[in-house]
Amino acid sequence: MIWFTSDMHLGHEKALDFTIRPWQQIDEMNEGIIVNINAKVKKKDELYILGDYSFRIPALEAAALRKKIICEKVHLVPGNHDKDWNHKLVQGTFIVEPPIKVLKENGRKFVLSHFPMMDWQSMSHESIHLHGHIHSQGSLYNEMNRMQGVYRYDVGVDANNYTPVSMEEILTWFDGVECHGRVKWKDWVNTTGDENVQRRLAGL
């Protein structure tokens, strides 16, 4: 089974406040997130972390936390806070992926990155874009994407009850949703709500 998560920010004490996480101490948060991963992701599964695994702790300390995750195949799509995991001291901690990783499973394409994208490969052919970075709280952001027929999903811990999400869960999330595909630039601009912008667009 394949799983996804992101923006764990292990070791980042301020993450307790700016994301309103349910732990009082940073050690509790680190342990809690790892326990949640191990409760779902089995040893022979695959886990993709879409960036910001840790922040503000030494690389060796972050690598030691990785060893507590029982999954053997943990991939890291780097985010803006990730360390150089190809450095000789921590090399092999993760399977380090490129900034944009494309998975093809059972005829379905998944486009993975840390940062959310407006447009992605095979968007008009029901490919699913998974990302993190934005620390959306709860399910509202993902619900809005689904309502609009946009196959984009925030796998970050803050959006998913601090647990990973499986590929099957994401497929079920979009099951039966009509894909609207690529959004025209006028529609993106029009959502600003600026009446002057909307009048100008109406005149095009």
Residue 69, pLDDT score: 98
Nearest to 22 by CA among 161, 203, 198: 161
CB 113 within 8 A of CB 79: no
Residue 203, pLDDT score: 66
- Cα dist. 71→39, 79, 168 in Å? 11, 21, 18
Phi and psi, residue 162, nearest 5°: 60, 30
In this prediction, the residues of the chain whose per-residue pLDDT falls under 70 are 183-204
pLDDT digits (tens, 9 = 90+) for 34-47: 999 999 999 999 99
**pTM across the whole model:** 0.89
Residue 104, pLDDT score: 96
Residue 180, pLDDT score: 86
Residue 26, pLDDT score: 93
Is residue 25 classed as helix, strand or coil in its secondary structure? coil
pLDDT digits (tens, 9 = 90+) for 105-143: 988 999 999 999 999 999 999 999 999 999 999 999 999
Boundaries of every domain in the chain: 2-202
Instruction: Give 2-202's CATH code, choosing from 3.60.21.10, 3.40.50.150, 3.40.1190.20, 3.40.50.620.
Output: 3.60.21.10
